[in-house]
Amino acid sequence: MLHAIQAKIEGYLEEVGSTQVLEMARILGTGKMLRSQLILAICPNHPQVLDFCAIIEMIQSASLLHDDVIDNANTRRGQLALNCTFGDKSAIMLGDIFYSKAFCELGKLDPQIVQVVAQSVVALSRGELKDVSASHVFNPDPKIYLDIISDKSASLIVASSCGAALLQGLDTKRYYTFGLNFGLAFQIIDDLLDITQSPEVLGKPAFGDFKEGKSTLPYILLYQRLDQPQQEVLLSYFKQDNSDAVAWCQAEFAKHGIIQEVFSQAQKYLQIALKAIEGEGNTQLENMAKQILEREF
């Protein structure tokens, strides 16, 4: 089914009438298509489900293209980021084409689904704006962190699960709660992997979040555990590409049990997600949620 989604995306992009768009899109690829996997687990057989998956994947690709420009990223999915190969302007415009074409096709679906997805893109963009604003100074507040990732990371997962529920005729409240908490757990584990996995496994530099000005949960929890002099040390490393910073943070994470604490936070949100779909009898979706905690990249 994932190959069929890719073919659907290529068909949509061919309608744009640009060989450059097709070339850049093929280089970009589609990744693991997590959101499509969720959609198919909730609604496997609806005649419009592949269209919905393709729309969601195009929106996800657009957001990643814009993210990479904002973050000055050099790599994406283990290869040179598109903005490095074709330049920031081309990457931004490709993202705009993905967004625009996705919304052209979205208009053919049920108006409720259109609203769910449109609202998620507003939230996603709002979250990106918050993230950029928060990158200037270290954020020690976990509530601000959760607010950002709720918008930036979880919103499109919410749209995927709610949209699939609408197609399948299921209770959208359940799937809203599932999608939100699945998305939070997924992003928390993603932030944890940044400090526990090698660049080879991640497909990007390890400890990159802190260097880019992202105050992720491991660093926030560490800050709360440190005394004032040590807090000042942590703050001095913020947005610095410094090997001493990596070694110091690794030691402090281990000393204060930060990795396990972050993992426990992800488990908490995952349990809320699983509770939301209790009784639905969807073992495939339940297994997907449980596998979040086993991710390596």
Residue 297 pLDDT level (bands cut at 50, 70, 90): low
Cα(224)–Cα(152) distance, integer angstroms: 24
Give 110-296's CATH code, choosing from 1.10.600.10, 3.40.309.10, 1.10.287.610, 1.10.10.10. 1.10.600.10
- Three-state SS across 60-129? HHHHHHHHHHHHCCCEECCEECHHHHHCHHHHHHHHHHHHHHHHHHHCCCCHHHHHHHHHHHHHHHHHHH
Per residue in 89-146, pLDDT (tens digit) is 999 999 999 999 999 999 999 999 999 999 999 999 999 999 999 999 999 999 999 9
Per residue in 38-92, pLDDT (tens digit) is 999 999 999 999 999 999 999 999 999 999 999 888 887 778 889 999 999 999 9
First CA to last CA distance, the chain: 22
**At which residue do the structure tokens 């997924």 appear?**
186
**What's the pLDDT score for residue 286?**
97
User: Which of 176, 56, 51 lies closest to 118, judged by CA?
Assistant: 56
Question: Domain segments of the chain: what residues?
Answer: 1-109, 110-296
Cβ atoms of 66 and 81 within 8 Å: the answer is no
**What's the pLDDT score for residue 242?**
84
Kindly report the average pLDDT of the chain as a whole number: 94
Instruction: With a cut of 80, say whether residue 243 has pLDDT above it.
Output: yes
CA of residue 59 relative to chain centroid, distance: 12
Residue 294 pLDDT level (bands cut at 50, 70, 90): confident
Per residue in 246-267, pLDDT (tens digit) is 999 999 999 999 999 999 999 9
CATH code for the domain defined by 1-109: 1.10.600.10
**What's the pLDDT score for residue 295?**
74
User: Which of 87, 35, 37, 82 lies closest to 57, judged by CA?
Assistant: 35
**What's the pLDDT score for residue 202?**
66
pTM for this predicted structure: 0.94
Same fold, 1-109 and 110-296: yes
φ, ψ for residue 79, nearest 5 deg? -135, 175
**What's the pLDDT score for residue 137?**
95
Residue 200 pLDDT level (bands cut at 50, 70, 90): low
The CA distances from residue 250 to 179, 198, 215, 246, 253, in Å, are 32, 13, 16, 6, 5
Cβ atoms of 152 and 124 within 8 Å: the answer is yes
